[in-house]
């Protein structure tokens, strides 16, 4: 379920960033207001996704990496921005980095289960001082 919320966060962020381009620096315009609305929705969904036990680093990397790749493609196809082999190679590197982080995520945790505190963590220090 967390990955579904993360997908909603990514879509909302991409819509918000598209309105950022349309706002052209004018936050008070309707495009600027839509941009702020979709960014707020995106961060809300990202927060919910992280709560559903997606690791913070992985969730943020997926959110920002996939969002960046989609925005580059939208910029090229919808706004006529430049395209090059180097640009597409860099997008591939971003996606490869996100996939690498995801592949390194421990799979032994169940959905919604909080990982145990590590030795020397602030939580253990608080428990031992009581």
Please state the rounded mean pLDDT for residues 116-126: 54
pLDDT at residue 84 greater than cutoff 70: yes
Given pLDDT bands bounded at 50, 70 and 90, which one contains residue 67? very high
Q: Which sequence spans correspond to the domains of the chain?
A: 2-105
What digits encode the pLDDT tens for the residues 9-38?
A: 999 999 999 998 888 777 788 988 999 999
Q: Hey, what are 54's tokens?
A: 């997606």
What digits encode the pLDDT tens for the residues 106-119?
A: 764 555 555 544 55
Length of the chain: 130
pLDDT for 73: 92
pTM of the model: 0.75
pLDDT for 108: 46
Is residue 15 helix, strand or coil?
helix
Q: Where on the phi/psi map is residue 24: left (φ > 0), alpha (ψ -120 to 50), or beta?
A: left
Please state the rounded mean pLDDT for residues 79-91: 93
């Amino acid at each position: 379920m967390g990955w579904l919320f993360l997908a909603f966060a990514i879509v909302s962020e991409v819509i918000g960033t598209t309105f950022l381009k349309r706002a052209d620096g004018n936050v008070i315009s309707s495009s600027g207001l839509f941009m702020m609305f979709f960014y707020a929705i995106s961060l809300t969904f990202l927060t919910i996704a992280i709560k559903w036990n997606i690791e913070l680093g992985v969730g943020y990397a997926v959110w920002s990496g996939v969002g960046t790749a989609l925005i580059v493609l939208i910029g090229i196809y919808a706004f006529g921005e430049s395209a090059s082999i180097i640009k597409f190679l860099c997008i591939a590197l971003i996606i490869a980095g996100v996939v690498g982080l995801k592949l390194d995520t421990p799979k032994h945790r169940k959905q919604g289960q909080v990982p145990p505190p590590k030795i020397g963590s602030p939580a253990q220090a608080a428990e031992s001082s009581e």
